[in-house]
Amino acid sequence: MNAFHLKTSVRRSRNVLIKWMTPGLRIKRWLVVLMFGITVLALGLAQVIASAYRASDLPEVVSIATLRFLPVWARVLLSAVLGGGAIALALVQLSRSFLAPFVLQTRESLIDMMYTHSRRQRGLKVVAIGGGTGLPSVLRGLKVHSTNLTAIVTVADDGGSSGRLRRELGILPPGDLRSNVAALANDENLMTQLFQYRFANGGLEGHSFGNLFLTAMADITGSMDKAVAETGRVLAIDGQVLPATLQQDVTLIAEMRFADEPRLRRVTGESQIPIAGGKIERVFLHPDQVRAYPEAVRSILGANCIVIGPGSLYTSILPNLLVSGITEAIRASSAYTIYVCNVATQQGETDGFTVADHIAVLEAHAGRGVFDAVLANNSYPSKNAGDSTRYVLPGPESHAVYQRYKVVMADLTDEERPWRHDPVKLASALLAMYQDATQAVPVHVDAAAAF
C-alpha cells in the first residue's frame, strides 16, 4: 500500500469514527446500556466462577476448562480478547442480519445511512406552498437535507383526472396531492412508479393509479387528508402533504380582459382560465371565506422557512394564498419566507411577465410583506429549450418591488428541461438564502447525493 492509499484509508477511518461519535445518532447511549448489562451479567458469573475456584475438590476437567493452570494476568487478557471479540462479532452480524432487507437497494454503509438520517431529522422545518409541477421540485431538492418538510397544496384543480373524480365522486382533487406525495418518496421505489402510472386506454384512460388509490383511501378513511397521510405511510415518505383546505366545493374564478370586449369577463374553473385567451386581471375563490385546514396553519406557524412557489402564478400559487387563514398564518409566523419565481412564462397566464410582474400580482392579491425575499433564475440556455420557451426576465431595476424585497438571482434551470427548476440547484439556493438571512450554521449541500 503506497503513502497516498494509506493516507486515504486513515482519513476514511477517521471520518467514520467522527460519524459514529456524532451526537443524535442514538448509538452511544445504547452502547453504554449494553456494556452496563454485560458488566452486571459478568459480575454475576464471576461470583459463580470465584466460588468454583475456591473449591479444592474440583475435577481435573473443570480445572482445565476454567484455565486454573494459567496465571491470573493471562486469564484476564485471554478473557478480554475472546469475550470482546465475540461480542463485537455478534453485534456486527446481528446488525447485518436485521438490516439486510432494508439496505439491499443502496451501496451506502450502515454508518453513512445512519449519519444521513440523523442529519435530515435535524434539518430545517420547511413549509412549501403551491401546486402543479413546481412544488415537487422544491420537495425533491430539500428532502435530501431535511425530513421536516410540509407541502401545502391547492385543491382548486378541476381538470383532467382530478377534475373527473371531483365531479363524479364529490372529493377533493387528488392530482397535486399525489404528485407531492410521490416527490417525497424514494424515486427508485417501484411502488412510487406505480403511484404515478397513468392509464392510456379503456374506461380508466387519463386516470393515474395514484389518483384512484387516493380516492379509494379517502372513501375508506373518511376524508382526503387522512387518505394522504395513510398513503404517505405506504410510500414511507419523510414529511407530509396537506391540502390548503378541506372544503370540496372550492372554485377558482378569474376576471379577464379581452381585446374585443369593453368589460371584464368572468371565467370559471382552474382548467379554463389558461385557455380562455384573455388577460387575467384578478382571481378569487368561490365561495367566499374558504377556511384553511387547521393542520396547514399549524405547520406554517411552526416553520423555520416558508417557500412559496414555484408554480402557475394564478392557478397554483394564488389559490393557496386566497384561502382564509393561510396568508394570515404566514404573516404571523416567524419563519423566513421566500417566493420562488418561475423560470419561464406560462402561456395563457403570465405571457410576457417579468420577475417584477410576478411580485406585483402577488402583492395585488395577498398584500405586501407576505414574503421576505425573492429567488429568481438568471440563466437562459437555448439548448433543449425548444421554440415555445420564454424565460422570465428580471424587469427594470427601478421597479418599486425591488426596493421592498431582497431579490436573489441564480442559475436554477434544469439542463434537460430548462423551462423548469433543477431540484438540486433550487435547494442549494434556498438553503444559502436562509443561512445568509438568519446566520444559521451552514448546511452541507451534497449535490451528488440528491438522487
Handedness of CA 154, 156, 158, 159 (dihedral sign): negative
Least confident of 77-91, 103-117, 150-164, 320-334: 103-117
Per residue in 198-229, pLDDT tens? 898 888 888 989 899 999 999 999 999 999 99
**Cis peptide upstream of residue 418 (ω within 30 degrees of 0):** no
The full set of domain ranges for the chain reads 3-107, 123-154+244-449
Least confident of 13-27, 119-133, 282-296, 405-419: 13-27
Residues 6+ apart with CB under 8 A from 255: 264, 265, 266, 280, 281, 282, 283, 284
At 135, list the grid cell: 412544488
Q: Which residue has the cell 466462577?
A: 49
| Distance from the first to the final alpha carbon of the chain | 34
DSSP bridge partners of 73: none
Between 337 and 131, residue with greater pLDDT: 337
Task: Say how many C-beta atoms besides its own lie within 10 A of residue 308's C-beta.
Answer: 26
Q: Which CATH superfamily is domain 123-154+244-449 in?
A: CofD-like domains (3.40.50.10680)
Cα-atom radius of gyration of the chain, to the nearest Å?
Answer: 29
pLDDT value at 39 more than 70? yes
* Crossing angle (nearest 10°) for helices 160-169 and 209-221: 30
SS3 of 234-249: HCCCCCEEEECCCCCC
Per residue in 327-343, pLDDT tens? 999 999 999 999 999 99
pLDDT of the residue at 65 = 60
pLDDT value at 41 more than 60? yes
The whole-angstrom separation of Cα 116 and Cα 118 is: 5
Per residue in 304-315, pLDDT tens? 999 999 999 999
Q: Phi and psi of 367, rounded to 5°?
A: 90, 170
Strands in 251-257's sheet, in edge-to-edge order, are 265-268, 251-257, 279-286
| Type of residue numbered 47 | Q
Q: Which residue has the cell 421540485?
A: 137
Between 140 and 96, residue with greater pLDDT: 140
DSSP bridge partners of 128: 151, 307
pLDDT of the residue at 445 = 43
Least confident of 101-115, 195-209, 360-374, 395-409: 101-115
Between 289 and 411, residue with greater pLDDT: 411
DSSP 4-42: HHHHHHHHHHHHHHHHHT-TTSS-HHHHHHHHHHHHHHH
Q: How confident is the model at residue 451 (pLDDT cuts 50, 70, 90)?
A: very low
Exposed, middle or buried by CB within 10 Å (0-12, 13-18, 19+), for 332? Answer: exposed
Mean pLDDT value across residues 371-378: 97
The whole-angstrom separation of Cα 137 and Cα 135 is: 5
Which of 140, 170, 139 lies closest to 155 in space, CA to CA? 170
Instruction: Determine the distance from the C-alpha atom of residue 112 to the mean position of all C-alpha atoms in its chain, rounded to a whole number.
Output: 19
Mean pLDDT of all residues in the chain?
A: 84
